[in-house]
Structure 1
Amino acid sequence: MGQRNSGAGKDLRSDEDAYRDAFDLFLAGTDQKTRTHAYLCQVIDRLPTRRLFLDVGPGEGTMTRGIAPRFERTVCIEPNRSMRHALADTCPDARVLAEPVLQADPGVTADLALLSHVLYYVPRPQWMATVLRIMEWIVPGGLLLVLLEHPDSTCIRMVEHFTGSRFDLSELADELASAPPALIGGVRLETVPARYRTMERDEAVTVAGFHLSVPSTVSGGGAPPARETLDDYVRRHFRDRDGGCTIGNDQHVLHIQRRWPMVCGPEAK
Structure 2
Amino acid sequence: MEPQKSMPVGGLRTDEDAYRDAFRRFLAGSDEKDATHAYLDQVVRGLPARRVLIDVGPADGTTTRHLSPSFERTVCVEPSEPMRRALARTCPGARVLPDPVLQARPGVRADLVLLSHVLYYIPRSEWVVTMRHIIDWLQPGGTALVLLQDPDNACMRMVRHFTGVRFDLEELRSELATDPAGPVGGMRLDTVPARYRTVHLEEAVSTAEFHLSVPADRTERPHPARHAVQEYVQRHFRTPAGVYTIPHDQEVLRIERSVPR
Question: Do the aligned partners of 1:8 and 1:230 also contact (CA within 8 Å) in 2?
Answer: no
Distance 1:170 1:148, change over 3 A: same
Question: Do the aligned partners of 1:198 and 1:245 also contact (CA within 8 Å) in 2?
Answer: yes
Question: Do the aligned partners of 2:115 and 2:146 also contact (CA within 8 Å) in 1?
Answer: yes
Q: Which moved more, 1:19-28 or 1:121-130?
A: 19-28
Aligned pairs, how many? 255
Distance 1:157 1:144, change over 3 A: same
Question: Do the aligned partners of 1:213 and 1:224 also contact (CA within 8 Å) in 2?
Answer: no
Deviation of 1:11 after TM superposition, in Å, equals 2.8
Aligned position for 1:107: 107
The RMSD of aligned alpha carbons is: 1.9
Deviation of 1:178 after TM superposition, in Å, equals 2.1
Aligned position for 2:249: 250
Aligned position for 1:3: none
Aligned position for 2:226: 227
Aligned position for 1:207: 207
SS of 1:184's partner is: coil
Task: Tell me how far apart the structure 1 counterparts of residues 39 and 131 of structure 2 sit (CA, whole Å).
Answer: 21
- For the pair 1:81 / 2:98, whether they are aligned, the reply is no
Question: Do the aligned partners of 1:58 and 1:76 also contact (CA within 8 Å) in 2?
Answer: yes
Distance 1:37 1:180, change over 3 A: farther
SS of 1:74's partner is: strand
Deviation of 1:13 after TM superposition, in Å, equals 2.2
Deviation of 1:127 after TM superposition, in Å, equals 0.3
TM-score when normalising by structure 2: 0.92
Q: Which moved more, 1:229-238 or 1:179-188?
A: 179-188
Aligned position for 2:16: 16
Structure 1 ranges of 4+ moved more than 4 A: 180-183, 220-223
SS of 1:165's partner is: coil
Question: Do the aligned partners of 2:124 and 2:217 also contact (CA within 8 Å) in 1?
Answer: no
Q: Which has the larger radius of gyration?
A: 1
Aligned position for 1:33: 33
- The one-character-per-residue Cα deviations of 1:113-139 (angstroms, maximum 9, x if unpaired) are 000000000000100000010111101
Distance 1:9 1:184, change over 3 A: closer
Distance 1:206 1:15, change over 3 A: farther
5+ residue gaps, structure 1: 1-6, 263-269
